[in-house]
Structure formats: C-alpha cells, structure tokens
Structure 1
Amino acid sequence: MSTEHAPTVIVLAAGRGTRMRSATPKVLHDLCGVPLIGWVLRAARDAGAGRTVVVDQPARVLDGHLPDGVEIVEQHADTHGDGTAGAVTAALAAVDPGAPVVVLTGDAPLVTGDVVRALLATHAAEGNAATVLSAELDDPGQLGRVVRDASGAVTKIVETKVAGDATADELLIREVNAGVYCFSGDRLLDALPRVGDGNAQGERYLPDVLGILRGDGDRVGAHRAPTPEIVLGVNDRAELAVVREVAQARIHEAHLRAGVTIVQPASTVIDDGVVIEADAVIEPGCVLRGRTTIAERAVVGPHTTAIDATIGAGATVLHSHVLGAAAEPGATIGPFSYLRPGTVLREKAKAGAFVEIKNSDIGAGSKVPHLSYIGDADVGPGTNLGAATITANYDGYRKHRTTVGAGVKTSVDTTLVAPVTIGDGAYTGAGSVITKDVPAGALGIARARQNNLDGYADQAAARANPEG
C-alpha cells in the first residue's frame, strides 16, 4: 500500500492498568514473547499503516519500548479531556484528512493485520464516515450491542451494563462492539471536537462520535470479524491468561499447519518469535522461547526448555535446558543437561546426562557423556571426555580457557585446570588433576601414588573396641 493516503493508526495506551497490580505498564506485559502492545503494533504494520501513533501517559512510560518509526503522544487531561475521545484528540495532529484513521487499543492484542485490512475494505466499499469492528458472540454479556437498520448501517451502539439501558429486543442482539474503529480522516477531525463530557464519569467517549456523524447525515457501518475472540482485552492477569490461551493456540496452529509435530499442544509453550521447520517434533512439556530456531527432523523434549537456542537438523534434546546455545545437525543433548550461552555442539557431538557446558565449542562427533562441567573450552573433533571431567576455569579473578585437541580421551574424574592444553590423541589417567599441558599422543597422570596398608581393617576394629 502506498504511504500516500495510507491509513493512520492510533493506538490507545494511556490507561494506568491498576487492575494488573504491577509496576510494569499493562501494555508491556508479555504475551507469548511479545508485549501486549507489540501485537497491536504488528497488526497496524501488517495493515499498511502510513503512520502509527501511540497515545501514552504524560510520564511517557512507553519511551524506549516501541519499535522504530512509532510515534508517541501524551494524553493530558487538562488539555484534551479524559476518556477515549480525549486520547484520540491527543493524536489528531497526525491525522491526514484524506486518509482513513484506525483506532486500536494497546490492551487488545488479538486483532490482526488481516482483520484491520478487512475493516478498511468495508469502510471504503460502503462509503462510510465511520466503521465499527464487531463480533458475534453466543453470550454477549454486558458488551455494547450493535444495532443496524434494514440496509445494514449502524444506527447506534447500545450499552447494557446498567438495567434499562437496552430494550429486551436489543438485549437479544448477539453482534457486539469490539472497540476498534475506522474513520474517514476529515469526518473525524470535524466530529471529535464536538464530543461532550455530559455523563456520570465526566469523560469524553469515542463511540459518541458515531452518533454525531449520523446526526450529520453520514453513514456509519460495521465490519463483523470472522472469530469472536477479537473482542478480548486485558484488564487484569486473569484476562491476560485467557488471551494468552488464544494467542498460544494460534501459534500452535500455524506450526502444525506448516508441518511441525506438536505431540501435546496443551502442555507446550511456544513464543511468537520461535522458528520451527517442517518435520521437527516437539514432545510434551517443552517451553520454547525467544529467538529459538529448530530445524527439520529435530526432536525436542519431552520436558525441554530452549531459550534463544539453535537446534540443528536431526538433533535431539531430551529433558534439558538450552539457553543461548547451539546444537548443529545430528547433535544430541540430555537427558538433564544444561547448555549455557556461547556453547556450540558441532555436528553429531553429544552432551549426555547431567552435563553442564558453558561458552565452549565441542567439536564434531565429540562426546561429553555424563556428569561433567565444561566451561570456557575448545574441544576438537572425535574427542571423548570421561565421566566427571571438569574444567577449572576460574582462578578467583579471571576466567581461563582450556584447549582439548582432536581424538583425546580423558578418563573418569579428570580435572583440567585452565589455562591448559591437551594435545591431539592424548589421554589422561583416571582421577587426575591436570595442571600442565599434555603433549599430543601422551598420557597425562597427576595423582598421588597408591599405598595399601595390610591389616588396616583389623587395626581399625581394635581401635573401635579397645576392651575387645
């Protein structure tokens, strides 16, 4: 869509969100890896917005939290009045009289770019001065009903929260106001200043613009959204949980339809930014967050957490925690491993049971089978680090690196005190504390010589029972 006369999108986000009981502004609360308002801004972008303006509190709590190109204006009650009409008034300087204006709310994240585009299309096709986004619900509850005339035009939106506001027939209407509006820019500029505050709350409400436009002889229409959850907004954490369930289901469905197997979606958490290729398998109990990518044929889980992780084609991760680490094709992780930031398992490498690896490069085909800690190390290909191999990488002041060559075999309970280098094809003896470099092909042994004390058991028994 050309930016000339492209829609202006105004996002209302000045509410204080006190019902969230949080120091975090409501619209910045996380929803599947994206703040609430991030979903709304994405819808604006996907709908082809020419300008996107967010109405913030005077304290500008959203500064530094919004994408580049998004403008912030402040709603000041003393100059613009309270309520939603006052919030839109704060953004009027951005309105192009010749372009449509879409008003979204920052705490209603389930509106998509497709829905906004369809709203704009209905607005243009019907020649409306204003078009309301609506939805049909089986149980409309106390939501405002959309009343239409025989032509389909909206005659009014009836509130139902107070007994007597709506007639019995109006209460039977299942089409409700979703709180999203499209206006012709020139008509909004003309009508909005005429909205009064003659109500019990003393606030100026945006829906009152609709009545003003109809009084001027303009047509007001409605575009019915395809699914009812479009009306869901977030005022507290209980409502956030409901919205999260819907958003998560959408994410799951997108992956499933793209060829990913999610064995048990109900027990699987996947952030919006996670990339999963076809034929990958996600087992139950997994949590996939951040910028995690999972390639084809990889099997993740059960009960694995991956955050900003890269899992290569055909790799497997079982009962493990992978944070900022990468596993190349065919690598295996777990069970019960912890891969920390900066770790790379090269092709077909292995981090086995109860292994922790941090900031290390484990060479192709190399194995860290079990019960080991490898930190700040470079390990060559084809190496096997025996059980309980430990890199002592910190001297109390600085971290030091360990270098282990190709084809190395460390025996069980080997401690490598960094900085130290183990040459290609070298060995270490079981129970060794290696403090000096081991040349290629050599055997490094660093342990006390064994002494056997004959008769020790009898001597110990005598000391335990001297009167025996």
Structure 2
Amino acid sequence: MNISAIILAAGQGTRMVSNKPKILHQILGKHLVEYPIDVVQKSGAEKICLIVGHMAEDVKKTIGEGVEYRLQSEQLGTGHAVMQAIDFLSDDEEVIILCGDTPLISYESIDKLKSFHLTHNHDVSVLSAIVENPFGYGRIIRNSDENFLRIVEEKDANIKEKQICEINSGIYMFKSNSLKYALSKLTNNNVQKEYYLTDTIEILFKDGYSIGATSAVNVDDILGVNSREQLAMATNIMKDRINKKHMKQGVTLIDPISTYIEPDVVIGQDTIIEPNCIIKGNTEIGSNCCIGYNTKIDNSNIKDNVNIEISVILKSTIGSGTKVGPFAYVRPNSVIGKNVKIGDFVEIKNSTIDDGSKASHLTYIGDADVGKNVNFGCGTVVVNYDGKKKHRSTICDNAFIGCNTNLVSPVVVNENAYIAAGSTITKEVPQDSLAIARQKQKNIENWSNRKR
C-alpha cells in the first residue's frame, strides 16, 4: 500500500496582514506548513505535494526540495487546488489531503484516520471533530446507525442540523482512483464560481462509493491559523503540548507557562529548566542539567550535568560538568570541554576550550584554541581582529594568563607558561616561561601638587 499526501498552501492569508504567505509564519521556530509536512511523513506518506500559489517562489525557496510542488495560479477553490495535482496522483494509492495552515494536526489523529480508512476500505474518509460551538463549520450528518450520510454547510443546514456538534475538519483520505473520478465530475455551479473539495464527497456518495467519518483525537488538532490572534493561540497550544511531553519524559519545568521549547529539542531526564528559558532548533540537552532562568540556547549540544545561569548559547557544544554564567555569551562554533568554568560576563566566539580550563569573569576569547587546565584572569582579551582580518591564537595546556592581559593574535602561549598581569603579548611565549610585557612603573613625585 502506497500513501501520498497533498497539502493545500496556495492562499495569501489576507487576515494575517503580512507581506509574506500565511504558511511561512512560524510557531516555535517552524513554519506553519512544516508541521503538517512532518506529520504526514511520520504517518507513512512516501511523497508529498504542496499546492502553492501566492508568492510561490518564496514558499519553494523556504521549504526546499523535500516535497513536490504544483502551482495554482488562480485560487478557484479547494477542489481546484487538488486538480492541479492530478499528475502527482498514482493509481491505486491512498491520498491524505489537508491544509498547510493547520499546524496543530497530530500524528495520532492522522494515524487514526488512516487506520479507520484502511480498516473499512472506504473510498474517502473524513476527519471530523466534536466541538462545543460548531457555528460556521460544515456538519457531519449520520443516519440512525451512525453511518456517514453527507456534509451540510452552515448556510444550508436546517435548525436540527445546526445543533449537530460533529464538524468537518477539511482533512481527508481518499483512494486515488476515487478522487480522480470525483474531480472529473466537479463543477463550479455556485455563487462563488469555485470548485469545492467537499463537493467530491457528495459526488462519490450519490454514485454509491463508500464514505466514512472518524473524529480527531483532540479537537485542537483541526484548528487553522488565519490571523495573528489565532497564531498566538496555536503557539500556546503547541507550547503546552511540547512542555507536557518533556515533563512526561522526566524533565522538570519550574514554570511551563514561561518556558518556550521548540519541537525538535531533546532533553534528558532529571534536567531542570527554570522560568523564562527559550530553547531552540535541534538543541540536545543531557541529563541532570540545570538551565537557569532567562537562558537562551539555540541549536546547541549540552552534555550531562551542565549548569547554565542567565546566559546565551548559540550553535555550540558544552561538555559535561561545565558551568556557564551568569551573563555568559557563547557564540557560534564554540566547543567547550568537560568541567570548564565560563563565568560572569565572559564571551566565547568560534573557539575550542579543553577540559578543566577556567575563564571566571570579564573575559573575551575569540578565534582561539585553548588547552586543558588553562586559567584566564579577569579582563583577559584575545585580540583577534586587526581591522581587516580575523586571526587565531593557541593557548596550550596549563597556561596561566594574568588579569588584564591582551593576547594579540596570532600568538602562541606554550605549555605551563605564565603571563604577568597587565601584559600585552604579541610574540610566542615559550614553554615553562614567564612573559612580562608592560612598561616599568615610574613614579613622579609631587606631580599632582604641580598640576593643581
């Protein structure tokens, strides 16, 4: 059995009041359309077709080559959108159809729809939902045996039908041959002169095809995003889902309401996340860590037993047992080893720092390779930029860098070397030596009296 998916993503989304397509707005770091793409992939779709229209080239550039594209140059309804993918459909396959602005659709609901569809061998299966206020939605009409009869739109429903709380989600699973047949019969004989996908269900029903409906696992799964307000609502729902998942897996979130964790983040058990943290991208955090409040971590790898306080870590690796912060800034392409101390107001950029080294406060280390057990005194600066080019320095194992030292790159400080406080180092420092690069102190007596 082959499964494909068609995702409708051609609309502009005027209620977003935006210069970019609605589906390219984001929830927790992922574009709206990426959520249904991920779900149908997980559900077994071997190929996916994205129906694009408004700013199609921008959508293609953003989403990339993982899906196929078909252009709906004129937005003439949902049925018309699916017609653009006729050549995408193979014979004798199953096709999931859903919208690109439904980021909350879950794997569980799509899997339930798929199981229902295949078990009953329906030509089309509709994903429905039970809602408290069904106003504005098409109603699922069933017979006395609870079998599907039809979908009635709000404007066409009678008083009794309007009381029905089971609604059409706009998510379907078709046999491809049945879908092709229904699309060939589809017309635009309506006030809007559009081709509606829901009309294909009526066509199939009248011609004796097998149709069924099953409800979503969670009513939130079918919510669409059509405005900034709905975008915020969907973000909060997704945030809550993600946070609950991590807590079920043994992560402590002190205040889930103020904690923002993106969907692809992995966190080990017994790690504590304090309030107001933002954890983004493909970040992996190990076990028994403490991520202190007001910390931002983006696309980084944090090993076990790490303690981070009020800091920013971007596209870097932090080794086990290391302490970072408070107020540290670890910039991209930095690799920090085990049991390292990166203290308050320390900035690391594009550098490697090996096990056991310390930069406890007020230090900048940029474009440097630092060995084991190196100590940076307060106020040390690796001077890596000459105004035109960046240069790289090397500080070897067991070096001791005194306070207020400037290391003017490129420079090498060899093993066991010491640098006196207040030095500006421009030449290589030999192994086991002491480097002093400062002018001899000179006192001028009575100078201040003469000045006054």
- The verdict on a shared fold, with TM-score over 0.5 as the criterion, is yes
- Distance of 1:324 and 1:122 partners within structure 2: 43
Q: Is 1:8–1:94's contact at 8 Å kept on the other side of the alignment?
A: no
How far apart are 1:305 and its partner, in Å? 0.5
How far apart are 1:120 and its partner, in Å? 2.1
Match of 2:146 among 132, 152, 157: 152
Residue ranges of structure 2 left out of the alignment (5+ in a row): none
Q: TM-score under structure 2 normalisation? A: 0.95
SS at match of 2:287: coil
Report the equivalent of 1:38. Answer: 34
Report the equivalent of 2:111. Answer: 117
How far apart are 1:112 and its partner, in Å? 2.4
Q: Is 2:278–2:295's contact at 8 Å kept on the other side of the alignment?
A: yes
SS at match of 1:354: strand
How far apart are 1:285 and its partner, in Å? 0.9
Are 2:329 and 1:332 equivalent residues in the alignment?
no
Report the equivalent of 1:74. Answer: 71
Aligned residue type for 2:97? V
- Distance of 2:249 and 2:25 partners within structure 1: 28
How far apart are 1:208 and its partner, in Å? 1.1
Report the equivalent of 1:268. Answer: 259
Are 2:385 and 1:394 equivalent residues in the alignment?
yes
Are 2:89 and 1:95 equivalent residues in the alignment?
yes
Q: Which moved more, 1:319-328 or 1:256-265?
A: 256-265
- Distance of 1:224 and 1:367 partners within structure 2: 57
- Distance of 1:307 and 1:218 partners within structure 2: 51
Aligned residue type for 1:41? I
How far apart are 1:98 and its partner, in Å? 2.2
Question: Larger Rg: 1 or 2?
Answer: 1
SS at match of 1:118: helix
Are 2:50 and 1:54 equivalent residues in the alignment?
yes
Runs of 4+ in structure 1 deviating by more than 6 angstroms, as ranges, are: none
Q: Which moved more, 1:365-374 or 1:123-132?
A: 123-132
How far apart are 1:17 and its partner, in Å? 2.1
Report the equivalent of 1:344. Answer: 335
How far apart are 1:30 and its partner, in Å? 2.0
How far apart are 1:59 and its partner, in Å? 5.9
Match of 1:403 among 394, 407, 431: 394
Q: TM-score under structure 1 normalisation? A: 0.92
Q: Is 1:103–1:182's contact at 8 Å kept on the other side of the alignment?
A: yes
How far apart are 1:274 and its partner, in Å? 1.2
- Distance of 2:119 and 2:403 partners within structure 1: 75
Report the equivalent of 1:65. Answer: 62
Identity of aligned residues (%): 37
- Distance of 2:297 and 2:66 partners within structure 1: 31
Aligned residue type for 2:136? Q
Q: Is 1:152–1:221's contact at 8 Å kept on the other side of the alignment?
A: no
- Distance of 2:421 and 2:269 partners within structure 1: 44
Residues 187-198 of structure 1 mapped to structure 2, 5 A cutoff: 187-198=178-189
Q: Structure 2 vs 1, CA of residues 93 and 151 (structure 1 numbering), >3 Å: closer, same or farther?
A: farther
- Distance of 1:130 and 1:18 partners within structure 2: 31
- Distance of 1:8 and 1:434 partners within structure 2: 64
Task: Give CA-to-partner distance per residue, 1:288-331, whole Å, 9 cap, x none.
Answer: 11121111112112111111111111111110000111110111
Q: Structure 2 vs 1, CA of residues 100 and 438 (structure 1 numbering), >3 Å: closer, same or farther?
A: closer
Match of 2:231 among 240, 243, 246: 240
Task: Give CA-to-partner distance per residue, 1:188-245, whole Å, 9 cap, x none.
Answer: 2222222221222111111111222221123422111121102211112221111111
Q: Is 1:178–1:230's contact at 8 Å kept on the other side of the alignment?
A: no
Aligned residue type for 1:46? K
Q: Is 1:320–1:334's contact at 8 Å kept on the other side of the alignment?
A: yes
SS at match of 1:371: strand
Are 2:293 and 1:302 equivalent residues in the alignment?
yes
Aligned residue type for 2:298? I
Match of 1:376 among 367, 375, 392: 367
How far apart are 1:33 and its partner, in Å? 2.5
Are 2:416 and 1:425 equivalent residues in the alignment?
yes
Q: Is 2:365–2:381's contact at 8 Å kept on the other side of the alignment?
A: yes
How far apart are 1:187 and its partner, in Å? 2.1
Report the equivalent of 1:466. Answer: none
- Distance of 1:417 and 1:10 partners within structure 2: 58
Q: Which moved more, 1:445-454 or 1:392-401?
A: 445-454
Q: Paired residues, what number?
A: 451
Residue ranges of structure 1 left out of the alignment (5+ in a row): 464-468
Task: Give CA-to-partner distance per residue, 1:353-390, whole Å, 9 cap, x none.
Answer: 00111111112111001011111111121111000000
Q: Structure 2 vs 1, CA of residues 143 and 437 (structure 1 numbering), >3 Å: closer, same or farther?
A: same
Aligned residue type for 1:218? Y
Task: Give CA-to-partner distance per residue, 1:85-140, whole Å, 9 cap, x none.
Answer: 10111112232342322211111122223322221222233343322111111222
SS at match of 2:63: coil
Report the equivalent of 2:406. Answer: 415
